[in-house]
A and B are shown apart, each in its own frame.
Chain A
Amino acid sequence: MSAREIFRIALGGVAANKLRSGLTILGMTIGVSAVIILVAVGNGSRNEVQASINSLGSNVLLVQRAFGGDVTFTQRDADALADEFNAPDVKRVSPVVNATGTTFLAGQESYEPSSVVGTVPAYAQTRSYELQSGAMFTAEDVSRHRRVVVLGPTVVQSLFSGADPVGESVRINGTSFQVVGVTASKGSNGTQDQDDVALAPVTAVQDAITGYASGLSSITVEARSGDVLDAAQAEVTSILTTRKQSADSFQVINQSSIREVATASTDVFTTLLGAVAAISMLVGGIGVMNIMLVSVTERTREIGIRKAIGARRADILAQFLTEAVVISAFGGVTGVVVGIVGSQFEIAGVEPAIAAYSVALAFGASVLSGLFFGTYPAGRAARMRPIEALRFE
């Protein structure tokens, strides 16, 4: 018999018992969509954790004075790290002067931002700050020691009640700074409010607030990519060791190590969800087998009739196997649809992100489970002796 005839007969079998086929398809649908949705939830929560880590700035190294170390970083150190020849894996270097603890005044309002940073424009890129209004100060502002400042939304809220402050001025330590931009909100990174900041040219901050004696507080280094972060760390460490003639007076902190820990834990979470979903697929598969077994038993006479009028064993086997695969593949298709639709909604506070592999895997597994769980009942049907099948009540 041709494949088309077998398919036609099998479809007839599926359609002949709509309720039973429908319930089996439902079981398969639940299994497949559970795999897709749960993996998407795991994936989504992993993305969220990564996004919050990335909001610190991606591929970032932080150069700081070691605890108890006596070392002062200067602009020259920062320039040395930006050397393309000695540090080919370094993309951007931002000197940072912390002026935390300074009070900002605007009219009658006063506020003390938790982070006041004197730096260069590259810092905004490295730390992934976007501007919602105005613009970041420029390299020229830095070289000309211009007194300009970019404020975070939290600061704007406190000093200007949320009104756009670009063009206004604030007094910092008695010196007037002109507001040139407001950063877009980044929210909390888990430990601190990243919107409670003020960024100003490093030169202006040293002129007006901190002075030059204490040098830079730290240097923020951005690697060219996540892959070369370790290489960049080695280059930075080597350059500074040479310049400072000491390896333990400073430390270079690598952000990818934080990310790895977080990613590993969300991966475990995703795997657990996937395992739960796989069990539900297994249950769906056993449902298919159950239905096929019932169907074979119930249709024993039909098998006898078919054999009496000339069906070969292979015809019967193909018919029942095709029925099982049609049912499970149909369940697979509806499961994929339900899974994709279901993943559009927020689940348990997580925005699910569909993983393509989970769709392929779940659909493939549903078809395979039809084949696998259909084989035994189909084989039983095919092996039946015609006369025994015909006599069956």
Chain B
Amino acid sequence: MSERPVIHLRDVTREYRVTEEVVVHALRGVSLRIDQGDYVAVMGSSGSGKSTLMHILGCLDSPTAGRYELDGVDVRDIPEDDLADLRNRKIGFVFQAFNLVPRTTALANVELPLTYAGVPRATRRARAAAALRTVGMGERLHHQPSELSGGQQQRVAVARALVTNPPLILADEPTGNLDSHSTAEVLDVFERLHNAGRTIVLITHEEDVAARAQRTIRLADGLVLSDTAQQAFAA
């Protein structure tokens, strides 16, 4: 843990007010630092607050209390449209449910973040195709999501997450819906991204997936239970 933290959470809580009386405390006070180039796995049982944490890290949601600094800037002070730009430039998302835009080709899906960034069409196409080749989908540029297997869809989603060259990649159970072969393929892509210096936060509840990361943060009931460097790395 050196340098400047990419992610710095201080005592972050998130409450969902379901009804007047019922309040769910999804995060009860989470503090953590994630540095440039870290490969972090977040583990925890279902309902422990993993997804909530990732949404906050990705500026899709905001904390009820506490401070979140991304690259040294408190995100609470950023207006919504600038947050959209920030997500576009700094963060790449991979979701458990793939979340590709339906009835739109793999290439067009991967182009989308570049479109919103205002990159000209020709450059966009070239970069999207390159990103798809990186994840081994160079042969499937013009397939629609419905014509792709789960593992292939998730690789398209990974290509979309990395096409803008974001410093931070957030993945919420990216292998949760995949068989072991596809899981290995996607994890290989992450490993290469990690080796290339990207910061990766990967949520999972599978031990062997977490074992590929440098560091494991365990959540339970909205609190950080443990934060350990991986045995393999520690040893």
Interface residues of A (CB under 8 A from B): 1-2, 5, 9, 12, 16-17, 301-302, 304-315, 386-387, 390
Contact = CB atoms under 8 A, between A and B. Distances in A.
A39 to B, nearest CB: 39
Interface in B107-154: 108, 112-113, 115-118
B84 interface: yes
Nearest to B86: A310
Contacts of B46: none
Contacts of B85: 310, 312
Given A9-B115, A12-B104, A305 B88 contact: no
A258 B164 CA distance: 77
Interface in B86-107: 87-89, 93, 95, 99-104
Contact of A310 (B55, B100, B108, B113): B113
B15 interface: no
Contacts of B93: 308-309
A2 B116 CA distance: 9
Nearest to B97: A301
A309 B58 contact: no
Contacts, number: 64
Nearest to B115: A5
29 contacts: A1-B118, A2-B118, A5-B115, A9-B115, A12-B108, A16-B103, A301-B99, A302-B101, A302-B102, A304-B99, A305-B99, A306-B101, A307-B60, A307-B84, A307-B87, A308-B58, A308-B60, A309-B88, A309-B93, A309-B113, A309-B160, A310-B84, A310-B88, A311-B84, A311-B116, A312-B85, A314-B81, A387-B60, A390-B99
B227 interface: no
Contacts of B88: 309-310
B74 interface: no
Contacts of B112: 306, 309
A63 to B, nearest CB: 78
Contacts of A387: 55, 60-61
Contacts of A306: 101, 112, 116
A5 B120 CA distance: 10
Contacts of B80: 313
A365 to B, nearest CB: 31
A305 B60 contact: no
A307 B85 CA distance: 10
Contacts of A304: 99
A102 to B, nearest CB: 85
A9 B103 CA distance: 12
A310 B87 contact: yes
B60 A1 contact: no
Interface in B20-79: 55, 58, 60-61
A279 to B, nearest CB: 35
Contacts of A17: 103
A16 B99 contact: no
Contact of A312 (B55, B61, B81): B81
A308 B95 CA distance: 11
Nearest to A308: B93
B51 to A, nearest CB: 9
The 3 tightest CB contacts between A and B, nearest first, are A310-B88, A16-B103, A310-B116
Nearest to B105: A12
Nearest to B104: A12
Contacts of A9: 115
B99 A1 contact: no
A301 B164 CA distance: 21
Given A307-B84, A309-B160, A1 B102 contact: no
A198 B104 CA distance: 79
A351 to B, nearest CB: 47
A322 to B, nearest CB: 14
B33 to A, nearest CB: 24
Contacts of A314: 81
Contacts of A5: 115
Contacts of B104: 12, 16
Contacts of A315: 116
A306 to B, nearest CB: 7
Nearest to B112: A309
Contact of A1 (B81, B89, B115): B115
Nearest to A298: B102
Contacts of B101: 302, 305-306
B108 to A, nearest CB: 7
Contacts of A313: 80-81, 84
A312 B116 CA distance: 8
Contacts of A305: 99-101
Given A309-B88, A310-B85, A310-B87, A16 B116 contact: no
Contacts of A310: 84-85, 87-89, 113, 116-117, 164
Q: Which residue, of A16, A310, A386, has the highest number of chain B Cβ atoms within 10 A?
A: A310
A311 B81 CA distance: 8
Contacts of B108: 12
B14 to A, nearest CB: 11
A301 B58 CA distance: 17
Nearest to B56: A387
A16 B144 CA distance: 11
Contacts of B87: 307-310
